[in-house]
Amino acid sequence: MGLQLFDSKEQQLRDFVPLKAGVVEMYVCGPTVQSAPHLGHLRSALVYDLLRRWLKATGLEVILVRNVTDIDDKVLVNAGSRDWLEFAREVEQTFIDAYNNLWILEPTHAPHATEHIDDMIALTKKLIDRGHAYQAEDGSANVFFHSASWPSYGELTNQKLENMEGEPESSFGRRSPQDFALFKAHKPEEPESAAWQTPWGLARPGWHIECSAMAKHFLGEAFDIHGGGLDLRFPHHENELAQSRAAGDHFANFWLHNALVTINGSKMSKSSGNGVSVEELLEQGSWAAIRYWLVSAQYRSNLDYTKASIKDAQAALERIVGFIKRVGATGKDVDLTKLPEDFIQAMNADLNTPLALAVLHESVRAGNTAFDNGDSKEVEAQVEAVKAMIHVLGLSKAYQEPEVSKEFKAQIEELIAKRQQAKTAKDFNTADKIRAELEGLGVIIKDLPNETIWSING
RNA sequence: GGUGGAGUGGCUGAGCGGCCCAAAGCAGCAGCCUGCAAAGCUGUAAAACCACGGGUUCAAAUCCCGUCUCCACCUCCA
């Protein structure tokens, strides 16, 4: 059976078939670059990275668009007296760094909202022409989508218009409480650089129109998958869907929503101030361990962060990496035809990564047992399977040599050789001293039967 | 009030009608390895009565009804 994905619009598993044979077009909501990322942001990006890797592994080409919302109320507020765009770029860089460290592949396109204002204006015009949007009745440059004009409004989240609370009726010139902004009129207290000349006056785009416009720009009127965090289902995705459909586009064929990272059972978020930063995480374990942890739950399950989370993940990951190193198979070659059937089925079942990890660990154990028994044929079979699996999960780099300077490497190897000499001479004092010295350099050594291997601490 | 989702061993977390007296990992314990460590490897206990109470079924963690608890979302903002 092929890949099945849970479509949150249909609220069921559906067989995934790309609209165009051989190519998958995905749009994922990226961050609003208002402050540095926390675990929740990382999970979201990672989930779609994982999906992308799996689609590629099954032979499909993937075009992934992940936007950057670089104009937004909070960006302007948090920039304070600084140039807001410069601030936004700086924050964006902290996201890019974190993505890179987590081995999240670069998207095919990573458009900035501010670079697609024309697309947004065009889409908004179309909506006005079709009678689904209007300029604010107070004469300002505010433009709203008229939710009541679109009969299927609410279809994504199965809600009825009358049950939605909405904004106070007259605020900013809207006709009804459930109408949302497509463009927001420039405010005197905001910098002029944060406003654009539109047919309705000086204004900046609302959040929802950005994604509709950029998705259309890069992927056209219909594309395969729209992804994002569960907290974006409403209003953001509901509004995107309404806008794009009202403008005559089919829009996304599948809607995917990843569950949230919680801490003590509650959503991790900026506003509640319980976000766990990258710095705090790295005290618990490596980037690889963080990635492993994020993969250890199925993407639609909440993932609860505790103090031990990353440490546990590190231990589990090292078991896998240890096996590969132990049998000396650290080469980069990977053969995806060696993926076990159970693993493939787990991934095809809406990316059941915990089950996939179980298959992986079973392979590791079988491989280790074979190694102890000197069954080199079995060892080879298992290690190839393991490498293929962790390649798919994006964890391959965990076993590859750390990138250090040649000089440093030579120094380490010399110390290890000296220690070996001391050990052979049964001069254990010297041997222990050297071990301590290596630890001082941040290097942890492990004595294997025939050799000593080392790694960088953390 | 509305809409979705969740409650499984000490912890994380799969399973969603029979293969479940419930995967995998972590932690624990034992053995192996070691100059000693660390790490590693192998094996493994337990009362997981699968939130609680009913029901359907030859068969339920899995389906149905009820109850409790928790989480997310409900529009210029995640």
Tell me, in Å, how far CA of A36 is from C1' of B49? 47
Note the pLDDT of residue A263.
85
Given a cut of 90, whether residue A420 has pLDDT beyond it is no
- Mean pLDDT value across residues A406-433: 82
- Mean pLDDT value across residues A172-188: 91
- Mean pLDDT value across residues A216-239: 95
Given a cut of 90, whether residue A455 has pLDDT beyond it is no
Q: Which nucleotide lies closest to A234 by the C1' atom and the CA atom?
A: B73
Q: Rounded distance, CA A71 to CA A412, Å? A: 49
Average pLDDT, chain A: 89
Note the pLDDT of residue A404.
65
C-beta within 7 A of nucleic chain B, residues 42-71 of A: none
C-beta within 7 A of nucleic chain B, residues 80-109 of A: none
**A352 C-beta less than 7 Å away from strand B:** yes
Query: A377 vs A409, which has greater pLDDT?
Result: A377
Q: At A403, is the pLDDT very low, low, confident or very high (cuts 50, 70, 90)? A: low
Cβ neighbours for A342, distance < 8 A, ≥ 6 positions apart:
A359
C-beta within 7 A of nucleic chain B, residues 392-451 of A: 423, 428, 431-432, 435, 444-447, 449
Q: How many CA atoms lie within 13 A of A131 on its CB side?
A: 4
Q: Rounded distance, CA A447 to CA A247, Å? A: 66
Note the pLDDT of residue A57.
96
Tell me, in Å, how far CA of A298 is from C1' of B46? 28
- Mean pLDDT value across residues A68-74: 93
Q: At A443, is the pLDDT very low, low, confident or very high (cuts 50, 70, 90)? A: confident
Given a cut of 70, whether residue A457 has pLDDT beyond it is no
Tell me, in Å, how far CA of A310 is from C1' of B13? 14
Q: Which nucleotide lies closest to A270 by the C1' atom and the CA atom?
A: B78
Query: A143 vs A425, which has greater pLDDT?
Result: A143
What would the two tokens of residue A343 be? 């693993």
Angle at A159 between CA A155 and CA A162, to 5 degrees: 125
Q: Which of A273-282, A322-331, A382-391, A441-450 is predicted least confidently?
A: A441-450
DSSP reduced 3-state for A273: coil
Q: Which of A143-152, A295-304, A444-453 is predicted least confidently?
A: A444-453
Q: At A456, is the pLDDT very low, low, confident or very high (cuts 50, 70, 90)? A: low
What would the two tokens of residue A184 be? 């927001």
Q: At A351, is the pLDDT very low, low, confident or very high (cuts 50, 70, 90)? A: very high
This complex has an ipTM of 0.90
Q: At A402, is the pLDDT very low, low, confident or very high (cuts 50, 70, 90)? A: low
Tell me the helices (H) and strands (E) count for chain A, helix number first: 14, 16
Note the pLDDT of residue A322.
87
Domains annotated for chain A, with CATH where assigned, are: 4-262 (3.40.50.620), 308-398 (1.20.120.640), 406-456 (no CATH)
Q: Which of A91-95, A276-280, A359-363 is predicted least confidently?
A: A276-280
Measured to protein CB atoms, the chain B nucleotides within 7 Å are 1-6, 11-15, 23-27, 33-43, 70-78
Given a cut of 90, whether residue A27 has pLDDT beyond it is yes
Given a cut of 60, whether residue A458 has pLDDT beyond it is no
Burial of A238 (0-12, 13-18, 19+ CB in 10 A): buried
Q: At A1, is the pLDDT very low, low, confident or very high (cuts 50, 70, 90)? A: low
Given a cut of 50, whether residue A412 has pLDDT beyond it is yes
Q: At A55, is the pLDDT very low, low, confident or very high (cuts 50, 70, 90)? A: very high
Tell me, in Å, how far CA of A169 is from C1' of B16? 45
Burial of A378 (0-12, 13-18, 19+ CB in 10 A): middle
Tell me, in Å, how far CA of A166 is from C1' of B75? 5
Q: Which residue is nearest to nucleotide B40 (CA to C1')?
A: A322
What would the two tokens of residue A192 be? 């002029």
DSSP reduced 3-state for A349: strand
In order, the DSSP letters of A47-115 are HHHHHHHHHHHTT-EEEEEE-BB--SHHHHHHHTTS-HHHHHHHHHHHHHHHHHHTTPPPPSB--BGGG
